[in-house]
Structure 1
C-alpha cells in the first residue's frame, strides 16, 4: 500500500462521524417499503430489508477496512531496519593523574600536597611551587622547600597565597640546599582549602637537574599532627 492511499484512508477515518439516528431511519424505511411490481417473467428482486442490510454491511465493511488501514499504517516500523533502543554507555572510571612536576601528589589525613615547576620557568630562572590542600582548619603549619645547590642556584625571592603577616618566612643555604621555610605564627590559623608556597631562584644557563629537590609540609588539625612530602621529577 503506497503512502498516498494510506494517508487518504487516515484522513477519511479521522473525519468520519456516523449519524446513527439517520442510518436507523433509513433501515426502517427500507423494511416498510413494498416491493415494486415486476414483469411476470422477470427475476424476482431481493426483499427490501435484504437490500438495506446489504448496504449497511457494505458501509460497515468500508469503515472497518479504513480503520484497519490506519491502524496498520500506525504500526509500521522505520524504513530500512528495526527500531532499537540504545542504552547509555557506562561511565568510564577516573584514573589518578601525576602531579604537574612529574611526581604523584601525596596525601595524609586532612593534608594533600603536590610539587611542581611554574610554567614560566626558563633556561636562567625557575619557580618551584608547593601546593598544599587541607580539608580541615590547621592550627600549625610548616612548609619547607629544598632546592639542590647545583647549576649556580641563588634565591630571587619567595611568596605564599596565604596572608604574609601570618607566617615567618626564610631562605638560607643548608647542607647543600637552598631551603625556603614558611612557619605559621602562634595563634594564627590556616583555613580549609588549597594554598600555594613558591620559591624563586636563578641558575646557570641551560637545563637544570631537579632530581634532588624536595619538599615537606607538617601541620596540626583536630585529631592530631599530620605531614606530607614529595619531590620534583622534572628538569628545567
Structure 2
C-alpha cells in the first residue's frame, strides 16, 4: 500500500504532457509533509529565504527599502483625508523606483499561509484546502504576503493512514489545520504594496507580492510552536 501511495505522489508532483492545466494541478496537489520548519531545507530549493517571523521579514524589507515609511505623515487625518490616496500613491511609486535593480528582488522566498481541510475528493484521493493569509506584526507595520499565480484547486494528498483519520475527524465536525508553505519570487513591477488597514485606524499594511512557484503542506501539530499573528 505504501508503494502505491508513493507512486501516486510522484505522479502528482510531476508535470507531464497534459499542458498548462496539468501543470497548475501539479503545483497545488501535494503530499502532507510531517516535518518541522527547521527541516524545510530538506525539501526546498537551495538559497531560499525563510520569511516566517518578524525578524526575518524585517531584514528582508530592509534589504529592499531601507527603512519603514513614516506612516503618521502618510495617514494624515485618516481615510477621509482627501490627500491620503495621493500620498499612498507617491509612497509606493517612490519606493518602487528606489527598489529597482536591488539583488533582493531576485531572492527565492518562502512564507506561510494558513490552511484548513474542507472536504475529501475521492477522484484524486485527497482533501481540498481553504487557505488565507497570515498577518505578522513587525516594526515596519503589519505584513501579509500576497500570492500571485495560485492554482485554482489546492489538494492535500495524505498517506492511507492519515486519510482515514482525517475523514473521521471531518465527519465529526473537527477542524484540521495545516500550514501552507509557498515558495516564489517577488514580481518586479509590483514587488511591495504599502497600504492601510480598513479595520484598524492608522495601521500600516505591507504586502510583498510573490509569484508562486511551489507549494508545500505542513502538518501543524508537529511545528515548533512559535507564535503567528493572523
TM-score, length basis structure 1: 0.21
Q: More helix per residue: 1 or 2? A: 2
Q: Which protein has greater RCO, CA pairs closer than 8 Å, 6+ apart?
A: 2
